[in-house]
Structure 1
Amino acid sequence: MATHLDDEEDLEKLKTWWKDNWVGLVAGLVIGFGAIGGWEGYKHWRDGRAEAASQMFEELKKNLEASKTEDADKIVATLKADFSHTPYAAAAALTAAQREVQAAKYDEASANLAWVVEHSSDDGLVQVARLRHARVLLAQGKPDDAMKALGDEAGSFSSLAEELRGDIQLAKGDRKAARSAYEKALAAAESGATNKTLLQQKLDDLAEVNPS
């Protein structure tokens, strides 16, 4: 189509094109503006839910500090049920699991940690939950379940994951595999990591094991 539509032919072409396409063009504009409005509405709704979840998490901490465990449990349940896609739900489940481990309620802690792994979209929280879940299962005398919960990918927690893998292998009686895992954990540990001394001690305890 010519830039200025100076002649009759181009004008007729424009009229014909408009006649054939105006419905789709207008519909596209309506959909486009609707999408913009829908996105703004969604952001407003999402931000509102995040704010509500944040306030509930603050209430959870206050209830825990006041030893109001029943009220705290209700908040955790609500966050998990109604705000599962916010980081506050995962943080609440981790907090609940920590309290349950301290009370030796391992089954409840295991359920909360498994929930975080399944529902959280935050890779860091998922990895923390995996590690804690595996530790809980190991404490329950379930090394095979602990190894399964630990998984293969640990991201930035590779040193802690390999150390725990060594603990699990040792609990299963496989000292060679335990030593191999501890060596990987030590190699992956960052300079100044708090677990390096303990790792070296664990390796020293298995010094008589030939890794080959």
Structure 2
Amino acid sequence: MAYDLEEQESLDQLKAWWEKWGTAVLSVITVGCLAFAAWNGWNWYQRYQGSKATIAYVQLQNAFVQGDAKNVVSIADGLMKEYPGNVFAGLAGFYRAAEAQRQKKPDEARQALNWIINESGRPEYETAARVRLAGIELDAGKADAALSVLTAAKPLEADAVSFNDRLGDVYFALKRYGEAKAAWEKALKADAFDGTVTPLLNIKLQSLPVETK
């Protein structure tokens, strides 16, 4: 095909531009395509990993209900190791701790709960883990250690009942009855809507020395 002079000049300019910039343009396009493919691949991988974690978590629940200690430990440890940051890994830590307590292995329970606090990547579970850990320390007669565990907590509104209930228990064990009363009253106020633990909290408040009431 014949081109007039103006068209030929335009083609020559385009050819010169492509020779100078064509490789860079192709590189940018290639990188963009690879980035898009990687993004899609990562989303697929996350969904795949999430589905695997979900299946494992259901198996963990079943094993715990059935009292299958061996599988509880195996599945929980697997979730915690292979899926850190996943919501089910954090929950698996609680099952791991509960199974350890059921087997009267408090050190293993402490380890699982400390993993939730420090390594799970799920800050929304931290206070619940601290409440459980403080309970273990109380059972071991270590009220000071229990208080240290709780004072480092940053409880959310949803944690108000369980946190203040346990804090009251710790203060009571330390014979700091005024602080125990204040903590239990906070728990009572937070439980006003649901009322689940209100009867127990009232019993605890009634157990305080007369001069504290």
TM range (shorter): 0.7 to 0.9
Which residue in the other structure is 2:187 paired with? 185
Which residue in the other structure is 2:40 paired with? 40
Give yes or no for the alignment of 1:172 onto 2:174.
yes
- Aligned mates of 2:44, 2:165 — CA distance in 1: 44
- Aligned mates of 2:43, 2:179 — CA distance in 1: 50
Q: Which moved more, 1:31-40 or 1:64-73?
A: 64-73
- Aligned mates of 2:67, 2:202 — CA distance in 1: 39
Which residue in the other structure is 1:194 paired with? 196
Summarize the alignment of residues 61-210 of structure 1 with structure 2, pairs less than 5 Å apart: 61-150=61-150, 151-155=152-156, 156-206=158-208, 207-209=210-212
Q: Which moved more, 1:188-197 or 1:173-182?
A: 188-197
User: Relative to structure 1, is the Cα distance of residues 17 and 158 closer, same or farther in structure 2, using a 3 angstrom cutoff?
Assistant: farther
Work out the percentage of aligned pairs sharing the same amino acid: 25
- Aligned mates of 2:189, 2:17 — CA distance in 1: 69
User: Relative to structure 1, is the Cα distance of residues 16 and 147 closer, same or farther in structure 2, using a 3 angstrom cutoff?
Assistant: farther
Counterpart residue type for residue 181 of structure 2: R
Which residue in the other structure is 1:7 paired with? none
User: Relative to structure 1, is the Cα distance of residues 209 and 21 closer, same or farther in structure 2, using a 3 angstrom cutoff?
Assistant: farther
- Aligned mates of 1:197, 1:55 — CA distance in 2: 38
User: Relative to structure 1, is the Cα distance of residues 190 and 120 closer, same or farther in structure 2, using a 3 angstrom cutoff?
Assistant: farther
Deviation at 1:175, TM superposition (A): 1.2
User: Relative to structure 1, is the Cα distance of residues 64 and 184 closer, same or farther in structure 2, using a 3 angstrom cutoff?
Assistant: closer
Residues paired across the two proteins, number: 205
- Aligned mates of 1:184, 1:56 — CA distance in 2: 38
Counterpart residue type for residue 108 of structure 1: E
Deviation at 1:30, TM superposition (A): 3.6
Asked if the contact 1:131–1:161 (Cα under 8 Å) also holds between the matched residues in 2, the reply is yes
Gaps of 5+ in 2: 1-13
TM superposition score normalised by structure 2: 0.78
User: Relative to structure 1, is the Cα distance of residues 148 and 26 closer, same or farther in structure 2, using a 3 angstrom cutoff?
Assistant: farther
Deviation at 1:168, TM superposition (A): 0.4
Counterpart residue type for residue 143 of structure 1: A
- Aligned mates of 2:90, 2:26 — CA distance in 1: 44
Deviation at 1:171, TM superposition (A): 0.8
Asked if the contact 2:54–2:88 (Cα under 8 Å) also holds between the matched residues in 1, the reply is yes
- Provide, for residues 45-98 of structure 1, a one-character-per-residue CA deviation record: whole Å limited to 9, x for no partner: 111111222222233334445543223322222222112222222222211211
